[in-house]
DNA sequence: TCGCCTACGGTAGACATGCTATGTGTCTAC
DNA sequence: GTAGACACATAGCATGTCTACCGTAGGCGA
């Protein structure tokens, strides 16, 4: 996975609905057809960073199967950041496409 | 710039024609509409890595304006790597698009 | 001739972030 | 009673980009 993309993916996932870390991991793997298999050692530190920047907030709840889980949700700043990061990605991907396609 | 993408861009640039580092830098900036402004501190180490992996080779020549310049060109292994890396990027970009577009 | 700009080369160290390895505990199914 | 899914988390390494710095040579204007 390319550096800098994980946080956008997490924000995007949480925009759809609040979720816990394990759930985020499953979501990303499924939605990407297993292209993104996020390891705990990447996921948890990323979540910590997002919390510190106040882009997400977390609270302990009980998951449907009766287990303790920390559910995260987007803050207002997080929604703003998601927009910013998404558009940045679009520009980046467009530029990549331009060069990879440049005739040759 | 996202980590891991610079090398593909360099390989791609060199596939079109042999070029020196400064020229690669200009090429990337122009072709990407200034989205990619590569710094020397990123470019030269990247070129060193590509040399070490034998994906490119270099030789000193004289540029059109009569200056010393080290021209790099793709090796056979480099061309193979370019294909591999390009397809990897495609998969990655596709997966990103899937998630960023997932309805919400 | 002096200074500045552009074309070219390069290194050192900081920093960000993903990966590997490791650890804890519960619940369910076999 | 044990294998595997569910759920949390940390420590340390590896990778690669950025900031900042340094050096040469040619051309041009004042």
Chain A: which residues have CB within 8 Å of chain B? 1-5, 8-9, 12-13, 15-16, 28, 31-33, 35-36, 86, 89, 91-100, 102, 104
CB of B69 lies under 7 Å from some atom of strand C:
yes
- Judged against a pLDDT cut of 80, whether residue B92 lies above it is answered with yes
Structure confidence at residue B29 (pLDDT): 96
Parent domain of B15: 5-101
Instruction: Using pLDDT thresholds of 50, 70 and 90, give the confidence band for residue B104.
Output: low
Rounded to whole angstroms, the distance from the CA of residue B46 to the C1' of nucleotide C16 is 18
Whether A92 shows a pLDDT value over 70: the answer reads yes
pLDDT of residue B41: 96
Please give residues of chain A from 34 to 93 whose alpha-adjacent beta carbon (CB) lies under 7 Å from any atom of strand C: 38-42, 45-46, 49, 65-67
Give pTM, 2 decimals: 0.94
**Average pLDDT of span A22-36:** 97
Q: What are B34-86's pLDDT values in tens digits?
A: 999 999 999 999 999 999 999 999 999 999 999 999 999 999 999 999 999 99
* Tally of domains within chain A: 1
Angle at A17 between CA A72 and CA B88, to 5 degrees: 90
- Scanning every residue of chain B, which has its alpha carbon at the shortest distance from the alpha carbon of A27? B99
Confidence of residue A60 (pLDDT cuts 50, 70, 90): very high
Give the Å distances, CA to CA, from A90 to A36, A46, B28, B31, B69: 19, 21, 17, 16, 35
Q: What is the mean pLDDT of chain A?
A: 96
Banded pLDDT at A104 (limits 50, 70, 90): low
Nucleotide nearest to B3 (CA to C1'): D16
B45: left (phi over 0), alpha (psi -120 to 50) or beta: alpha
Which CATH number goes with the domain that contains A58?
1.10.10.10
Cα–Cα distance, B82 to B26 (Å, whole number): 20
Q: State residue B102's pLDDT score.
A: 79
Looking at residues A50-74, what average pLDDT do you find?
A: 96
């Amino acid at each position: 996975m390319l550096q800098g993309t994980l946080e956008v993916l997490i924000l995007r996932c949480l925009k759809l609905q609040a979720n816990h870390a394990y759930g985020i991991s499953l979501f990303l793997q499924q939605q990407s057809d297993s292209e993104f298999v996020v390891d705990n050692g990447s996921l948890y530190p990323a979540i910590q960073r997002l919390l510190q920047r106040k882009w997400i907030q977390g609270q302990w709840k009980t998951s449907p199967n009766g287990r303790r889980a920390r559910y995260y949700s987007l803050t207002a700043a997080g929604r703003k950041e998601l927009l910013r990061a998404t558009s940045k990605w679009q520009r980046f991907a467009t530029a990549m496409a331009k060069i990879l396609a440049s005739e040759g």
